[in-house]
Amino acid sequence: MDALIDRYNQLTLSAREYYRLTLTNKGISPDKQSLFMAKYDQVIFAESQKNAIDDAEESLKSYADSLTDANAKTSDLGAVTSAVFDGALGGINAMAGLSMPW
């Protein structure tokens, strides 16, 4: 029955309140719980900051990858444009009877 009540408390209480109830059930008096609760709040804050940093890092990596991909595609486009231009220029020079300087 105690396990069922504990499961109910896990599902219905906030994580902070469940932790406070667990401390009370372990015999820690409410005046001493404030130290534990302050530490709990610090840990929760640190975890949220870490998650935000991890999300930002993931976004930056994705952005850097997209820039690298765009750079590669732009370079490929430049090579194709150069080849087409050089080919067209070579054809014009051949029609005009000029030799290619390169």
pLDDT per residue over 49-81, tens digit each? 999 999 999 999 999 998 888 888 777 777 777
Task: List b or e across 18-27, with b for residues whose CB sees 16 or more CB atoms inside 10 angstroms.
Answer: ebbeebeeee
Domain for residue 28, yes or no?
yes
Mean per-residue pLDDT, 24-42? 91
The per-residue pLDDT for 52 is 96
Domain for residue 11, yes or no?
yes
Domain for residue 102, yes or no?
no
Does the model's pTM come out above 0.85?
no
Please state the domain count of the chain: 1
Domain for residue 101, yes or no?
no
Among 9-18, 21-30, 39-48, 91-100, the range of highest mean pLDDT: 39-48
What tokens appear for 58 in the block? 């993931």
Average pLDDT, the chain: 83
pLDDT grade for 6, boundaries at 50, 70 and 90: confident
- Give me the domain span that covers residue 89: 2-96
